[in-house]
Structure 1
Amino acid sequence: MRQAHSVETIRTAERALMAALPDGALMQRAAAGLAATCTEALRRVYGARVVLLVGSGDNGGDALYAGARLARRGAGVTAVLLSPERAHAQGLAALRASGGRAVTPAAAGPLIARAELILDGIVGIGGKGGLRPEAAELAAAATASGATVVAVDLPSGIDADTGELHGPAVRADFTVTFGTYKPGLLIDPAASRAGALRLIDIGLALRDPVLEALQHADVAALLPTPSAESDKYRRGVVGIVAGSERYPGAAVLAVAGALRGGAGAVRYVGTGADAVLARFPETLVSAGPPAKAGRVQAWVVGPGLGDGSDARQAVAEVLAAEVPVLVDADGLRLMEREQVRSRRAPTVLTPHAGEAAALLGASREEVEAARLASVRRLAAAYRATALLKGSTTLVAEPDPDTPVRVNPTGTPWLATAGSGDVLSGLTGSLLAAGLAARDAASVGAYLHGLAGRIAAGSPIAAADIADSLPAAWRDVRSA
């Protein structure tokens, strides 16, 4: 599992480690890992043209020491010093002793244009706000140069704790981060600036992550597995309340996801029964209402439901049930906040940014710009597990001390009509199979993203995602 820690936690761990090490040893560890990654990124080190963008903090020192290592191997290394009087003195001396040189930003243009590799050491994890104009010009020139850009710890200009962008920021091809991941490296919009991530262990003792990202082994350990004594009812029954005369396909897609989510049976309630049975004859169907449909271990309500009085009543009945409930799409508009807050059984809300904005009384742009804060607000406001869909899907609990989970498997190919319906059915089935709300949401998002990747390669439809879920399960289990 990948874990990310707050800047405050990282700073505390760094101070404790530096007190136990010789002066400068921690920076040398970081520089060694950084130089190794730069070496891999270059086709050859000897004769390579390398430019360091150096600010006044420790990130600038890391860049200078890494540049010194590259210079000793024959690279032509030039440091562009944004604040020459405040540059890391020992690092600068090491670079010059190794054959490197330093210039001011006024001389940087031609050097950046000819560079093969550019090392971003402008601002570290303590930086706030976007880059200042002079640094922003250098960052833009680096992007335009076509050189490989490697960020030191994080791309300069992003918010390390939140993933927010408050102005210009470096766009890196690789980010070499030290000790632990930073939330901003895993959450958009900042994550899109980080490129490929490389974590260098520098010996920090860290606890209390604020963010987690599951990996194959974590998901495999959570997947429901039938035993010899299992039957379809012991494996769990998930109820699906979805679809309408206008949107019968939502019912089909939600059921498609549910059938591949680990529960033993799917019970469908709604007007799309004919369409569902035509595609999935194994589905148990009922004309409703949900309260009279039969026993389930979890409900999914909302996809394609419409906004009529029957739909509103169905949402209210499902929320009154004493089993886990997932609310999506139209259900999010029809539910009452106090209905959700007063529930004793787990509730999972799965909005996209626009739906989250409506629930929070904010704009879509505000939600997308501050995804971490938004998903936390949503979970707290509704006392529910919140899964915020988007370029990076986040899962939060009402308890602010519980780490938020970020899904690492997403792909832009998932941005297709009906994709969310499949995710809802899949996650609801995992709830019915016995997973806790946070785990069901996290595993559902992980498998859904992985299925999208498996199906991709050409434009895909939501049904392709559902059809690829068995392959996603096998891929996770075989890792």
Structure 2
Amino acid sequence: MNHAYTVTAVRSAERPLLDSGQGDALMRRAAWGLAVVVLLELRSRGPVVGSTVAALVGTGNNGGDALWALAFLRRRGVDAVAVPSGDRMHEVGLDALRRAGGRVAERVPENTALLIDGVLGTGARGGWEPPRVPEGVAVVVACDLPSGVDADTGHVAGGVILADVTVTFGALKTGLAVGAGAHAAGRVELVDIGLGPYLGEPDVLTLEREDVLAVYAPPAWDDHKYSRGVLGVCAGSEQYPGAAVLVCSSAIATGLGMVQYAGPRRAADLVLAAHPEVVAGTGVEGKAQAWVVGPGLGSDDDARRRLAEVIDVCVDGGLPLVLDASALDLVGLKDLGRLRDAGCEVVLTPHQGELLRLADRLVPDLAEGFAELAKADPVTAARRTAEALAVVVLLKGSTTVCAAPGGRTLVQNEGGAELATAGTGDCLAGLVGSALARTSHGGPASTVEKAAAAAWLHGTAGTVAAEAGPFGASSLPSAVRHALTGR
């Protein structure tokens, strides 16, 4: 599990070291880590000696890190060039570069093999217009974070220099893990400069493969179908029967013990044609240990009746519930209150538009400025909604944000634009439901961690499916198996 921190937390962690006179040592430590990553990038592409590395150098400590890195690189035979972006540069770093034999130029040389972005640091906010990067530059390495990215939110207000690699110092910043910031950062390399003992609690977390495999664990030798998890699915309608198939298919692909489907005959026939092992009926009776309701449900009186039936059975049994798609527009505050009082864990899975409608309808206190907040800072938007409604919010987008009441938040960036197609959200709902239904598996993972595990699996399966050929949501379930097993 990876941890990311706000700028405030990182600066607080630096303070004891700075107060003890270690400021120069911290900069050189960071710069050496940056230089090592640059050397590895150069070596992967050809000779190091004689290659040109240029750095766009800002006026602050970020520029100082870049200058020291150039000085280290120059001593290894690199033509090291500093290109100032302001009217001054870090004096000690500039002196180190000159003593090493580096040089200063007005613009990036056309023969530059690798460009270091050292213009703006973690304190930068607002729009910025980046300089032109010459076409011949093969690699861009960002110093701490790409210039133009808000280090706390990942928001890009103006221009940004897209990085192939970002070398960040001391701790991963939240803005490198969310939205446009995560996209601009490329591969992120963390350089340890000794902040660990002072960092405290992270702002957001990110699951890795081993965390996800702990949630979707294979069966034990003595398992039976009920101990492996039973998921109830209330999805699909006469108008949208395919949603039921996608939810059930993705849940089955994770290795659940049983999927129970409750829905109209047309949808049930499609589900059974695809998966005869599904237990199908028109009602919600059965042994489900968690429920998914909403995909393809519609908005008519029948949809309301079906949602109410699922809520009743969850309240009676204290069962976890995933509310997705149509259910997000139908559920009321009274429903959520009943579920909360019964001890039911509830996960809402909106995309941004659904989140705005949900907040406007159920949390009017959030309405003013909420649309702008959701766009610029989805982590805070998801957190506020989760806290106000006392539920876990899985906010879908280029970064999936999973926020629990109390503020614990996980973000996942697996997958890409291939998932922006009809039906993929139905598959995600099935994966979330599967994670919640695994009452005897998955170790100590909390509900928000299970939601994040589903987001990881969904994104990873999307990448697998897209690599195999033309992509559609129906190709996701088989890719889920591959993502879990590697086969």
Task: Output the CA distance in 2 between the equivalents of 1:349 and 1:65.
Answer: 48
1:50 to 37, 49, 53: 53
After superposition, residues 411-450 of structure 1 pair within 5 angstroms as 411-434=416-439, 436-450=446-460
Task: Output the CA distance in 1 between the equivalents of 2:203 and 2:322.
Answer: 24
Q: Does 1:311 align with 2:307?
A: no
Cα deviation digits, residues 327-368 of structure 1 (max 9, x gap):
111111111134224422100011112212222337877534
CA-CA distance at 1:243 after TM superposition: 0.4
Give the letter aligned to residue 80 of structure 1. Answer: V
CA-CA distance at 1:82 after TM superposition: 2.9
1:348 alignment partner, SS class:
strand
| More displaced stretch, 461-470 vs 220-229 | 220-229
Counterpart in the other structure of 1:298: 290
1:390 to 397, 402, 427: 397
Task: Output the CA distance in 1 between the equivalents of 2:301 and 2:11.
Answer: 55
Q: Count residues in correspondence.
A: 459
| More displaced stretch, 189-198 vs 352-361 | 352-361
After superposition, residues 77-476 of structure 1 pair within 5 angstroms as 77-85=80-88, 87-103=89-105, 107-108=106-107, 111-131=108-128, 136-138=129-131, 141-142=132-133, 146-205=137-196, 206-271=199-264, 272-288=267-283, 290=284, 293-320=285-312, 321=314, 322-344=318-340, 345-361=344-360, 367-400=374-407, 402=408, 404-434=409-439, 436-457=446-467, 458-475=469-486
Counterpart in the other structure of 2:364: none
Gaps of 5+ in 2: 361-366
Cα deviation digits, residues 393-444 of structure 1 (max 9, x gap):
11110112x2x11114223222222111111112112211125421221111
Structure 1 residue ranges, 4+ long, deviating more than 6 angstroms after superposition: 362-365
1:72 to 59, 75, 83: 75
CA-CA distance at 1:144 after TM superposition: 5.1
Task: Output the CA distance in 2 between the equivalents of 1:52 and 1:11.
Answer: 24
The answer as to whether partners of 1:45 and 1:70 remain within 8 angstroms in 2 is no
Task: Output the CA distance in 2 between the equivalents of 1:29 and 1:466.
Answer: 46
Gaps of 5+ in 1: none
What is the Cα-based RMSD across aligned positions, in Å?
Answer: 2.0
The answer as to whether partners of 2:130 and 2:159 remain within 8 angstroms in 1 is no
State TM-score, norm by structure 1. Answer: 0.91
CA-CA distance at 1:240 after TM superposition: 0.3
Give the letter aligned to residue 95 of structure 1. Answer: L
The answer as to whether partners of 1:263 and 1:430 remain within 8 angstroms in 2 is no
CA-CA distance at 1:81 after TM superposition: 2.1
Task: Output the CA distance in 2 between the equivalents of 1:62 and 1:342.
Answer: 55
The answer as to whether partners of 1:236 and 1:297 remain within 8 angstroms in 2 is yes
CA-CA distance at 1:30 after TM superposition: 0.6
The answer as to whether partners of 2:234 and 2:294 remain within 8 angstroms in 1 is yes
Task: Output the CA distance in 1 between the equivalents of 2:27 and 2:328.
Answer: 49
CA-CA distance at 1:229 after TM superposition: 3.5
- Percent of residue pairs identical: 44
Q: CA distance change for structure 1 residues 147 and 474 in 2, over 3 Å: closer, same or farther?
A: closer
Q: CA distance change for structure 1 residues 180 and 90 in 2, over 3 Å: closer, same or farther?
A: same
Cα deviation digits, residues 275-325 of structure 1 (max 9, x gap):
11111111111112x3xx223211100000111101012222323323110
The answer as to whether partners of 2:130 and 2:161 remain within 8 angstroms in 1 is no
State TM-score, norm by structure 2. Answer: 0.89
